[in-house]
Amino acid sequence: MVHLGPLPGSPSPWQLDSVIERAVADAATIQEAGFDALLVENYGDTPFFGTLVPPITVAAMTRAVSAVRDVARVPVGVNVLRNDSLAALGIAAATGSAFIRVNVLAGVMLTDQGIIEGRAAELARERARLEPSVEIYADVLVKHAMPAPGVSQEQAAEDTWTRAGADALILTGSGTGRSVDLAEVRTVHELLPDAPLIVGSGVSPETVAEILSVANGVIVGTAIKEEGVTSAPVSRQRAEALVTAAA
């Protein structure tokens, strides 16, 4: 994860040049440690908009992602929190990024931003129009959220994969840095053996090998930050330790 600090328009103090400088430094550290990809996210923009973000957020993220792309030797992805998948696609298409993360691609989730609905139909058509090569990595019952009553993880995973057009499925714990239930990952794999599965929270040097025995990949943020603080800069030592443990 390349977590961006507060962007222009955020209620928190912001300085865009400093945010971009930090993003580029973190991206360089992550890829030098041996990671296979980078995912840029407007993590510092709390509280998040539930759906559409303002134009200034799209513009600022495009600058930041472009700067990361300039130093990247690995694929770069985009996530526009909380769930502006069309903005993420636009940024990815404009910057030549490889993939986007969509927190709610299909169905409905109850979140601290209110009710968030998937926009798979719009996203699929816009991707076909703008840049068909951009892959969609979609969360299944995303963290910091609750599904509608009666919706199981198996049903959500199947709908996201077979009906909503995801290229990979992301499974997480209940919140940032919280561990995923590997039994649930195994269940989804058995249900959808062709779907690439990515674990998106709670990954650490102690857990990564076991996770990768079940999943195809991991998304790592907190575990590679200085002192394990999510908002801190990336630690080269911690990042290398995680890559070594995953080997």
pTM for this entry: 0.95
Q: What pLDDT, on the 0 to 100 scale, is given for residue 10?
A: 96
Instruction: Determine how many CB atoms are found less than 10 A away from the CB of residue 102.
Output: 27
- Domains: count for the chain: 1
| Residue 178 confidence (pLDDT) above 80 | no
| Residue 209 confidence (pLDDT) above 80 | yes
Domain of 87, CATH number, reads 3.20.20.70
Over the range 178-214, which residues count as b (16 or more CB within 10 Å of their CB) and which as e?
eebebebbebbbeebeebbbbbbbbbbbebbeebbeb
| Residue 63 confidence (pLDDT) above 90 | yes
State the Cα–Cα distance between residues 98 and 151, nearest whole angstrom.
31
- Cis bond upstream, residue 8 (ω within 30): no
**pLDDT tens-place string over residues 143-153:** 899 998 889 99
Q: Percentage of residues in the chain with pLDDT exceeding 70?
A: 100
Q: Which domain holds residue 225?
A: 2-246
